[in-house]
A and B are shown apart, each in its own frame.
Chain A
Amino acid sequence: MSKLEVLPQKLRDEFTELATHYPLKSSALIPALHRCQEELGGWLTPDILEACAEFFGLEPVEVFGVASFYPMFKLRPVGKHLVSVCHNIACNLRGAEEILAAACQAAGAKPGHVSPDGRFTVERVECQGACTAAPMLVLDGVFHENLTPDQVGTLLGSVK
């Protein structure tokens, strides 16, 4: 049974255009998975992965293998807002663990978990390339740098 209808027509049109950027259609898979995650609820359900496999002429297992390789692709449900706290060396030296603790407290979630109200997922992430503005976190794709724990509470309180 075709899974393609999981992908809205708008996305399928985008993927058709994306595929023209590459000599092989399936090379557009990773950008396409990004678009699915952005448009279809923040994480990649098995149905989405199977639909992408069908669209790009791949086996579902190949698409699962790619999606699970890359940390930015989420294969489990996430909160409405994704809070990614860098815990690598430059941030660690300037208080990343305190930033993480503040984010967990403000979100009401442990690292790697969705908050009970479904609003936040807080996660530890590796270096984001903001070492000279450490510590930092990423809120829904936007970098917030040179943070103090107090600012984290305000920041997370400001989103709905």
Chain B
Amino acid sequence: MTRETYLLSRTALPNSHTLDVYRAHGGYRALEKILKGGYTPAQVIQLVKDSGLRGRGGAGFSTGLKWSFMPDPAKDPRPRYLAVNADESEPGTCKDRVLMEKDPHGLVEGVLIACFAMRVQAAYIYVRGEYRLPHDRVAAAVAEARKAGLVGKNILGTDFSCEIFMHKGAGAYICGEETGLMESLEGKRGHPRPKPPFPAGFGLWGQPTTVNNVETLQNVPFVIDRGPDWFKTMGTPKSPGNVLVGISGHVERPGVYEVPLGLSARTLLEEYAGGIWKGRKLKAWIPGGSSTGLLPASAIDVKMDHDGLREAGSMLGTVSMIFLDETACTVRAMKVISRFYDHESCGQCSQCREGTQWLAQIFARLEHGQGRMEDIELLSSLANGMAPAKTICALADAAAIPTHAIVKNFRAELEAHVTHKGCPLADAHAPHELEEAHA
């Protein structure tokens, strides 16, 4: 079955990252439409609301509604900002990178339309520091657009002016949390802020701010150009449009694919990723990035949308699917995942700072043969102490949710690690891990 695609429609073209190619394929048409067609900011927000576009950064909140939270400049004349979250770092997630490398003008146009709609005059694109090529591509696109009169003062000869600044992060996952991102953009440690106050009232430098994900903004020019009705012909009634799905792990064809929400996980695995590699069987899979937890093979027919995964006891997250074949060890996977959250906890909240450390230690000792049967209850009890909603941000939840998932879905494998005094699958594993120096 052929499914309509648009997000990745330009990415296979030679020099898709340049202004000429972008313009030759419909680029900046949406911006011209609103600037020269006499649209008001409120009308643009209404179009985005009508389209049903939901944020693609993980939370899935209505984009138009989020934009409407920005105060009316007539009543609140403070400077206002857009921060673009290009700090993609949830393990399994590498979709925004494809867009920034191959279609950077799509992001620039999305940013400009968002700034017009929210009457913002300065946007900051916060790109994770490791993304050198994506950063450089977007920076080059901004420079090209500026030269063509699309960024800066009096865009396309109208009274709309907007600056776009690039900003590089420096390797901290927590800066993908919107308030951590704002702290980091201000030049500080990425310590998330308690909410409220919410960014629309008190964001960057204390001013009204909206934070949007890259893929979300890349959808916006298409919504404006082709209209909300077209957008709603794809996906599900509650989650219209296409999404980028990253498929990684033990599959034949790992990759970033553009799909409508609402397909089954099996369709994504088999039709898009070519099934489990090497003719092996599926053992476990993660639906939406490492924080969404391991599901058993029996859940593979679940519908990949917000509601379908909630019913399966998981979350859509960033729609980043990671597959484990029958030779893989779920305890080892959790050792790796819990080590990550321990490393990335910012340390502000004791539940998270201590909890992530304990989880990482317990999964490591189970995997390496020092586990005790009581450890399984201890994992649940720690996870219950960390989440839900016990900390400033959701990093503790991101560590607790996959912990609950393994206890629920793979308890027998945890127990086998205790009775076997180590990983029963150890022979299939890599050589003994080299320890990192702590000097």
| A binding-site residues for B, Cβ under 8 Å | 21-24, 26-31, 33-34, 56, 65-66, 69-73, 87-90, 92-98, 100-101, 104, 110-113, 123-134, 138, 141-143
Contact = CB atoms under 8 A, between A and B. Distances in A.
29 contacts: A24-B186, A26-B186, A27-B185, A28-B187, A69-B346, A70-B171, A70-B190, A71-B172, A72-B129, A73-B170, A88-B336, A89-B249, A90-B249, A98-B430, A111-B437, A112-B438, A113-B437, A125-B130, A126-B340, A126-B343, A127-B89, A127-B91, A127-B173, A131-B93, A131-B246, A131-B254, A134-B248, A134-B249, A142-B132
B306 interface: no
A146 to B, nearest CB: 9
B336 A31 contact: no
B79 interface: yes
Contacts of B320: 131
Contacts of A33: 170
Interface stretch (B161-169, B387-395, B403-411): B161-169
A18 B328 CA distance: 48
Question: Main secondary structure on chain B at its contact with chain A?
Answer: loop
B145 interface: no
Contacts of B343: 126
Contacts of A21: 165, 167
Of A30, A104, A123, the most chain B CB neighbours within 10 A belong to A30
Contact of B128 (A56, A89, A129, A133): A129
A121 to B, nearest CB: 10
B205 A104 contact: no
A24 B187 contact: yes
Nearest to B344: A126
Interface of B: 79, 88-94, 97, 128-133, 165, 167-173, 184-190, 205, 246-250, 254-256, 286, 290, 320, 322, 324, 328, 332-333, 336-337, 340, 343-344, 346, 429-431, 433-439
A17 B322 CA distance: 43
Contacts of B97: 129
A131 B248 contact: yes
Contacts of A26: 186-187
A123 B431 CA distance: 17
A98 B173 contact: no
Contact of B94 (A24, A95, A111, A130): A130
Contacts of B190: 69-70
B131 A129 contact: yes
A34 B91 contact: no
Contact of B133 (A27, A34, A143): A143
B170 A71 contact: yes
Nearest to A132: B254
B165 A66 contact: no
B246 A132 contact: yes
Nearest to B277: A94
A19 B130 CA distance: 22
Given A31-B168, A88-B337, 5 more contacts: A23-B79, A26-B186, A89-B337, A97-B433, A126-B91
Nearest to A129: B94
Contact of A89 (B172, B246, B336, B346): B336
Nearest to B88: A129
A93 B290 contact: no
A128 B130 contact: yes
Given A30-B184, A72-B130, A126-B173, A101 B434 contact: yes
B437 A132 contact: no
A116 to B, nearest CB: 14
Chain B CB within 10 A, most for which of A65, A71, A73, A141 = A71
Closest 8 CB pairs of A and B: A112-B437, A97-B430, A70-B170, A72-B171, A131-B248, A90-B248, A29-B187, A71-B171
A88 B94 contact: no
Nearest to A76: B439
Contacts of A23: 79, 205
A76 B436 CA distance: 15
B132 A131 contact: no
Given A27-B186, A90-B248, A101-B434, A132 B94 contact: yes
Given A70-B171, A104-B434, A133-B254, A88 B340 contact: yes
A4 to B, nearest CB: 18
B430 A95 contact: yes
A125 B254 CA distance: 21
A52 to B, nearest CB: 10
A89 B105 CA distance: 31
A93 B332 CA distance: 10
Contacts of A29: 187
B261 to A, nearest CB: 19
B436 A111 contact: yes
Contacts of A95: 430
Contact of A129 (B79, B89, B187, B433): B89
A27 B290 CA distance: 31
Nearest to A27: B187
Nearest to A66: B189
Contacts of B431: 97-98, 101
